[in-house]
Chains A and B, each alone.
Chain A
Amino acid sequence: MAEHTRAGSRSLPRLLMSPAVLSLFLWMIVPLVMTIYFSVMRYNLMQPDQAGFVGLENYSYFLTDPDFWPSIWNTLLLLGSVVVITVVFGLAIALLINDPFPGQGLVRILLISPFFVMPTVNALMWKHMMMNPVYGWLAQVWTFFGLQPIDWLTDYPLLSIIIMVSWQWLPFACLIFMTALQSMDREQLEAAGMDGATYFQKLWYLYMPHMARSISVVIMIEVIFLLSVFAEIVTTTNGGPGNASTNLAFLIYKQALLNFDFGVASAGALLAVVLANIVAVFLIRMIGKNLD
């Protein structure tokens, strides 16, 4: 029996991992190779006769696009703002509703609902019914308080996108934090209470260490999705006005589907991968130890 276990402990884990590893490898490598190939070719659907090898021309075209650096900045600003907003408010809300109160179940259900809404619906709803400067609900609230209604998508395009995306992801953070709080050690909390620990001491020394991993999980998953926010932008501001709400994903989309230039778009996609990996390295430095 012991022999069997020892022999099995080496090959079995690999066997169990192979479907996931192999399928993901194919899923990654085939499009990646094709993207690398497209990125060094002239591949413009509007000029199909001018195909051929162009070296790094697509890259220099994409890098010198006046929208490139603003799009990097917008990508990071959008990412950072939404992560901070959702983690801070998500923790606050999860702590607020952790202990029983009348209607706790219903409050929980209302709170997590926005996460189940499609990004397209989310964007259309905010664009028309909330942020429309004439008929929108926010304009009515502003008017009620005697203020000049704001034309959100024109005057604060990136902030508007941040609001929409945060509204979507705050419930996700809440849900993860709420479930993590369920497994807090009650006896430890009571013991700390007996010893006269204040709420903030308990928060810092008991809750935060316990929550460290779920905070890391939330940040990690959000970073992956928020680096390429797309539906909200294409549905509402279309990257504008100007490049005010253009992020990297939208810039690539503009090259591929509006300029029909798949060569430049492919170069942009590979630059996006580089950016993502830089962000990932920073992330692992900061929160990697919590993921063990």
Chain B
Amino acid sequence: MFKKILIANRGEIAMRIIRCCREMGIRSVLACSQEDLNAMPAQFANEIVCIGPAPAGQSYLNQNALVQAARSYGCEAIHPGYGFLSENAEFARLCEEAGVKFIGPSSRLISLMGDKQSARALMQKKGVPVVPGSDGILESAAQARKIARKIGYPVLLKASAGGGGRGMRIARNEAEVEKAFSEASAEAKAAFGDGSMYLEKLIHDPRHIEVQIIGDEYGHIVQLGERDCSMQRRNQKLLEEAPAPGLTRSQRGAIQAAALKAAKAAGYYSAGTVEFVMDQNGKFYFIEMNTRMQVEHCVTEMTTGIDLMQEQIQVADGRALSFKQSDVKVNGHAIECRINAEDPERAFAPCPGNVDFIHMPGGMGVRCESAMYSGAFVSPYYDSLIAKVIVHAPTRLRALRKMRAALEETTVDGIKTNLNFLYLMMFSPGFVTGRYDTSYLAKYSEAVLKWDRDSRKKVKRGD
């Protein structure tokens, strides 16, 4: 087993990796920015190496510094966490060439799945349902119009090299195609260096359902059930749950089988997620594969009882998965809420600053993942996620009640957070009934915010 792992990340995921390393008897070397020297992971890692100043570009994205630090500190492997370099094929290759194990799939697999159009083509070939659209890269806007005429508007012009919602434009009719095509292509060229485009039918108000996958380097791949991540604001997930509510047994079986087929088609190994959109008629389509451990992996850990990160590290060490598909049982229901340092009243603008006081909940089936402590500083240089609260209970209703109690107990003073907003979401009709899709927050956030404001109004005497 690895003796030392370099952790190329920060915040709650760095804590997750450090704790996992401790359990496994692996020494953790935290590569951090100057900004994070006071942060909790720096206190708990066995060693710290400061690899750059606050800006991520010079620190957490500094590939050469990270690999050099791994080598100089005797680390056999690097854990990239999520975000940052976790899906950067160039970084994975740099590690491979330097003889440092990248904890994740190979650089070849990252490239394959990172190229959205070739991933789509592979799925089409293997019979995994994909969103109706173009077969291959579009040669021109004219070709886009021809295909759109056949599959019907509205359509989405998407960049093959894109991601995170960038390099995408909607065309609602034939007249809009030209502009959508050139704008999306230009954006992708500027951001990713590649303006190649493909086309998909725009599914109206889809649900976002994804399936957790993990495989070892012996060809053994397993799926661990689906998660519903439809509660999103501007393509940013707010909360997640497993299993996805309201699916029939056959829908659930079909989506899980499709995910496994997709992962096998790619020859995938390590932890990953296959993403689907589900339309209003319950039909689902592959959209992309995430070749990393995700923020919401904890939800699946709660329902299956499997430590995904430990498995991921073992797989990277060349071991087989410690379980088979037939060992995987999805028990009960889990929900995760992402607590962010942001102000819902000001369009969820990030609110860095000092956390004067923080208290996280506890109890049976309550799990917290955070790097916060009273007196900690939330930096403006990084994303606003400060804590995850995850609950697990035998039924969805009991999980919902547990999350309400957990969020009531959670206290954060000194900065603004979305804690109240999350709490009210646990009472919002759409979430309570399990009937929501990716348009829910766009439609109802304002109502939830008003509810919050109204609840804090002073009651006049005599009312």
Whether both chains belong to one complex is answered with no
> Which residues of A are in contact with B by a Cβ distance under 8 Å?
none
> Which residues of B are in contact with A by a Cβ distance under 8 Å?
none
